[in-house]
Structure 1
């Protein structure tokens, strides 16, 4: 069928594919992996995250974690450039979990899954217009939980004619990945290896 619309908002993020080449050249889908422990006792859960906060570390290749309502630790991290699904998610994430929480070295992992996020070269979200009536928002680079609630608001404001906050984000430069579609994955992986090494060495 057909739909007539005054405006279009493109928000496919890591699942947009090459639908709009102008956007796909400036972003790259990546996979991130998550594991969930068995339910923990109240005492253990409280010792891990006493304030029950959701945590995201500040490493270049970051880890993130929080407690679920039934006291499971949900722990995610890792990056697979090009968004391939790894064969053994637990093998990738469990060492990170144990490094952060050594007291959980014998904990059972009940669930593991992967999902995609969209990486930008600058690690900043991309917001802008294509023509007069097509708006886009994408590329949270792993920080979507803390950003997308604001993105929705500024998109709505812009469609109502109040574009000041939208334009502030849209004015940020959007850079294409070096190497084009063929070489952006190996080039980015090489750069990530370098910065990950700096994290490990404490630089």
Structure 2
């Protein structure tokens, strides 16, 4: 946001977009007014909703992920958990991820919720996984807990493309947005300067719709996840 402001841009908060007119220039409607733009970049990802650009909603599904953070641990205990102090994610279909913080807390995430509804008890979802990975932390105090959304695609690959000649989109990082969004921003900047080669390399990837459409994508995906999670537990 500061980079935008320092380069002459303006940021308007509390003004959700309600529609985009595919005209030239484009007209973006919000709850408080309109913006006319030469180019529109749709980058709402898991928070875009289904109504602004329904075509994008067919190809993706918001999901929730939960995170807990322990109270600070004794330094020797913290280092025994992850001796090399790496950031870790496992290889399960519904994966968990964890790392140590600078003040020796364990940050542990997982517990995917399809459809991105906020769970009533984040700790209840995550703690069994945490204690299975680190049984020596039984009884540890949890200081912080939160939930956030990511956007899942059927192929787990990000989706870049054009909705019109002046309307572009980037979405669906499937849990890897921290790194991939940096690349996405770079490719969009190249595109707006007239160099579309690298953007188009991603845009040519197939963007598959979820089976069942918007109404049945959640139960169908949950059924598939249950099957693959069973395979994980059985070591198949």
Q: 2:37 — aligned with what?
A: 5
Q: Which runs of 5+ in 1 are unaligned?
A: none
2:131 to 95, 98, 103: 98
List structure 1 runs of 4+ shifted beyond 6 angstroms.
none
Q: Which has the larger radius of gyration?
A: 2
1:3-33 residue CA offsets vs partner (Å, 9 max, x unmatched): 3322111100011002100101111111111
Q: 1:47 — aligned with what?
A: 80
Q: Helix, strand or coil: the match of 2:37? A: coil
How far, CA to CA, are the matches of 2:34 and 2:218 in structure 1?
36
Q: 1:36 — aligned with what?
A: 69
How far, CA to CA, are the matches of 2:107 and 2:160 in structure 1?
30
**Which gives a bigger RCO, structure 1 or 2 (Cα 8 Å, sep 6+)?**
1
**Stretch of structure 1 that moved more, 145-154 or 76-85:** 145-154
User: What is the TM-score normalised by the length of structure 2?
Assistant: 0.82
The alignment of Structure 1 onto Structure 2 pairs a total of residues equal to 203
1:156 to 186, 189, 205: 189
Q: How far apart are residue 146 of structure 1 and its match?
A: 2.8
Q: How far apart are residue 106 of structure 1 and its match?
A: 2.0
Q: Helix, strand or coil: the match of 1:3? A: strand
Q: Which runs of 5+ in 2 are unaligned?
A: 1-32
1:145-201 residue CA offsets vs partner (Å, 9 max, x unmatched): 231121111111111122221111111100111111211110000001011111111
How far, CA to CA, are the matches of 1:6 and 1:50 in structure 2?
52
- CA-based RMSD of the aligned residues comes to 1.2
